[in-house]
Structure 1
Amino acid sequence: MTIDVEDYYQVSAFESHVSRDAWPSFATRIERNLHLVLAQLAEHGVSATFFTLGCVAERHPGLIRELVGQGHELASHGYSHVRVTRQDRHAFFEDICRTKSLLEDIAGVEVKGYRAASYSIDGSTPWAHEALREAGYVYSSSVYPIRHDHYGMPEAPRFRFNPIPGDSAFIEIPISTIELLGRRIPCGGGGYFRLYPYGVSRWAFERLNRLEKQAGIFYFHPWEMDPEQPRVQGLSSRTRFRHYLNLSRMESRVRHLLRDFTWDRMDRIFLPAHPDSSESA
């Protein structure tokens, strides 16, 4: 179970409408929404991994310490949600080092995992995984092995793999998909989870668990639990549809998902060689 910690105005789809310079002028709703997420996880006894923006942690350090104190894993989502494909290797390396150090200083725990903004590690960024390894990360969950107009790496494996030749220690953990009638279908969360009826998502994860014997990787954002969030003006009809679709149903659907399956942190499931993965400082 993974949560991408970013506020409603920080999503990549709003880049052409909301500049990063304007972010401080927006009313933040991350505390309200993240507390709702934490309450749901506590209700079902679920520990999760929170891929967190450095700028959010910097603005709300107490919130980050709170989620770590509740037994969740803290991981990096980069500092300010810049896609990897819009950075060169040097800028990317500086960003991931800065964010890792910042999160660790705030929370007092080692940050082992990373998730790229908008799953933007793809075939055009062959240096990204090596940069992550050099920066001290142990795993990435930055590949969505599908074809999409904003992201995707359809040629990537569907399940955990070693992206760096000759390095078996660093792993990439893609977002979940299923294959049906020769097509690869996304089922790992986000807008797809809000678009499909809940029964479709439940069926897909049952198929992953029972037929393919694989752990499912699910993600969502705290803002998806917030149907009352302010509306950003000037969006295209496609962007507006994708962002605001079924927000009022999200809280209930996540509750069903937490009830219907067994979930845990990424490090505990995928890093058995690291015995301290279950410990928080």
Structure 2
Amino acid sequence: MAEAPKLAMTVDVEDYFHVSAFDSIFSQKDWPTIEHRVNENTRRLLDLFDQHGAKSTFFILGAVAEKYPDLIKEIDRRGHEVASHGFAHRRATTQTPDVFKEDVYRSKSFLEDTIGKSIEGYRAPSFSINETNEWTYEILVELGFKYSSSTYPIEHDLYGVPNWPRFKYDRPEGIIEIPIPTLRNDDKNKGIGGGGYFRLFPYWLSKRRIEKFLGSETAPYSFYFHPWEIDADQPRVKNAAFLSKFRHYVNLSKMEGKITQLLKDYRWDTMKKVYLED
């Protein structure tokens, strides 16, 4: 009997106030005074993954790592992959090359010093690599990264490169790019990689879409979400735009149950293991 395929689980480790939708409300200088919940939420996920024998890649924000170094050590100790999400959760499209390099270097060097291992993976905040800033790949190669998972080939009002490759490919700069998974329907790509889509849709529909991908494509599948998505009790940001609040808060109370079912239905491993080694 054939072994069930492994899929790659990923967690973007950031707190609720780090998200791009709240950029205009919370500045970096405000962060020390805000209630932090990412440490407890991420540890809940670590226990949940242990219960189901799942491994994951944690794309960790440098600001979180510097505040909670013991959390980073615990992620590594439990056998997960530690990767970089930059330092300050600023979209790469808003940064100059020098600022981008400093941001990513600060994150990568601190993570490496914390766990004593090389950091090979990077994910840009809000999938913010596109045709306007392909120079980011040259910097990632210079800093020693082996792969990036920073593009989502869909049409979206906040991000997206719908005409870029849908599957893992070698960039000319010398790095591997692993896009977020999509389904191809009616000459358009539909997002199926997790996040808000997964919270919005009923679980049976999300699973059907994943099954369609696994049945029609030979490429591996990966899933992403954030620790704040399992935290229905997080503080509410009242002065955010309606659409931002809807996207952020929809079905938070149902997310942990959905993740638990996802862990039961599939075998999960790290990005490095599924995409680079297997």
TM-aligned CA deviation for residue 147 of structure 1: 1.0
TM-aligned CA deviation for residue 143 of structure 1: 0.3
1:232: which partner in 2? 237
8 Å Cα contact 1:48/1:264 also seen in 2: yes
3-state SS of the aligned residue for 1:143?
coil
1:133: which partner in 2? 141
TM-aligned CA deviation for residue 155 of structure 1: 1.1
Structure 1 residue 77 corresponds to structure 2 residue 93: no
2:108: which partner in 1? 100
More strand by share: 2
2:228: which partner in 1? 223
CA distance in 2, matches of 1:122, 1:262: 31
CA distance in 2, matches of 1:153, 1:182: 14
Count of matched residue pairs: 270
Aligned partner (choices 11, 14, 29) of residue 19 of structure 2:
11
TM-score for the superposition, normalised by structure 1: 0.94
TM-aligned CA deviation for residue 201 of structure 1: 1.3
> How big is each residue's C-alpha offset from its partner over 1:88-118, in whole Å with a ceiling of 9 and x where there is no partner?
1121112212211110001112100000000
8 Å Cα contact 1:130/1:164 also seen in 2: no
1:180: which partner in 2? 185
8 Å Cα contact 1:52/1:77 also seen in 2: yes
8 Å Cα contact 1:176/1:188 also seen in 2: yes
Give structure 2 stretches of 5+ with no counterpart.
1-8
CA distance in 2, matches of 1:108, 1:26: 30
CA distance in 1, matches of 2:101, 2:151: 18
CA distance in 2, matches of 1:214, 1:106: 33
Structure 1 segments of 4+ aligned residues over 4 angstroms from their partners: none
TM-score for the superposition, normalised by structure 2: 0.95
CA distance in 2, matches of 1:99, 1:142: 16
Amino acid at match of 1:80: A
Amino acid at match of 1:157: P
Aligned partner (choices 251, 257, 269) of residue 256 of structure 2:
251
CA distance in 1, matches of 2:239, 2:277: 47
TM-aligned CA deviation for residue 31 of structure 1: 1.6
8 Å Cα contact 2:62/2:85 also seen in 1: yes
8 Å Cα contact 1:50/1:75 also seen in 2: yes
8 Å Cα contact 1:30/1:222 also seen in 2: yes
> How big is each residue's C-alpha offset from its partner over 1:229-271, in whole Å with a ceiling of 9 and x where there is no partner?
0011201111110000000000000011111111100111122
> How big is each residue's C-alpha offset from its partner over 1:167-212, in whole Å with a ceiling of 9 and x where there is no partner?
3xx2000001101222211010111111111112111211222221
Aligned partner (choices 157, 160, 172) of residue 152 of structure 1:
160
Greater RCO structure (CA 8 Å; 6+ sep):
2
> How big is each residue's C-alpha offset from its partner over 1:68-98, in whole Å with a ceiling of 9 and x where there is no partner?
0000000000001011001111211122122
Amino acid at match of 2:202: P
Amino acid at match of 2:242: S
8 Å Cα contact 1:140/1:171 also seen in 2: yes
Amino acid at match of 2:193: G
CA distance in 2, matches of 1:250, 1:109: 32
Matches within 5 A, 1:17-56: 17-56=25-64
